[in-house]
Amino acid sequence: MHPDVRSLIAVQQEDLALYALEGRLGALAPRIAALEKERGVVTNALDRARKGIEAEESRLREARGRVETHRGLLDRSQRQFESVTTPREAAAADVQLEQSRRMVDESSRDADQVQGRINEMRHQVAELEQQLADVESRQADARTSIETDREAVEEQLRAARATREQVARAVPKAVLSRYEKVRSRRRSETVFPLRGQSCSACDTAIPTQRRAEMAATGALEMCEGCGALLYAPE
């Protein structure tokens, strides 16, 4: 086996180890996503409930403002009623007074209804906050485990990349560049030996002249069937 090919195969072994580590790191993502989804259901409901309370509190302020306005009208109507001097004025003032009382009663009922909804929503928020605390407590160990795994894999990746970089220095730049182009497409084993007259990855037959050149020079050839890089074994 040509020394350049031997060096390249060593790089490939490091890359395969990197793929495995990257796969382990990628496998953590669905676990994290599942935890986030479970938590997100509660947090989204909690956000909606809190926004609902904010909207109702705005309506409550408006309703209480109307109550105060109508009570002011009622006070004026009461004073007017007390100051009338004729039966006709008394009748008109009485109508105005009754209308003002109805307005106060209606606006007070509106305010009470809004306050009732707020009380119910605050109870719902308290329940959702407890649900969220329960979810976070239940997930704590799982999240710690995932974070521990992630840190361990990332540390292994850093070490593996450093080793790969060092091993790659033994490969001629032209050979390494060709390998990198093919590897980036395959993201798997890239360099294969000939098996008799064929590619050992896909069994595509390799012409005699190309096989002879590979054996004589140690050159790498691309398989026309699967795109792998081929070398002639000893």
- Mean pLDDT per block of 10 residues along the chain (234 residues) reads 91 96 95 95 97 96 93 88 83 88 93 96 97 96 95 97 96 94 90 94 93 89 93 87
Q: What is the pLDDT of residue 35?
A: 96
Nearest-5° Cα angle at 176, 195 to 173? 135
Q: Which of 59, 41, 5, 17 is nearest to 162 (CA)?
A: 17
**Sheet with 198-199: strands ordered across:** 198-199, 191-195, 229-231, 221-222
Q: What is the pLDDT of residue 97?
A: 86
Q: What is the pLDDT of residue 194?
A: 95
Q: What is the pLDDT of residue 233?
A: 87
Q: What is the pLDDT of residue 89?
A: 83
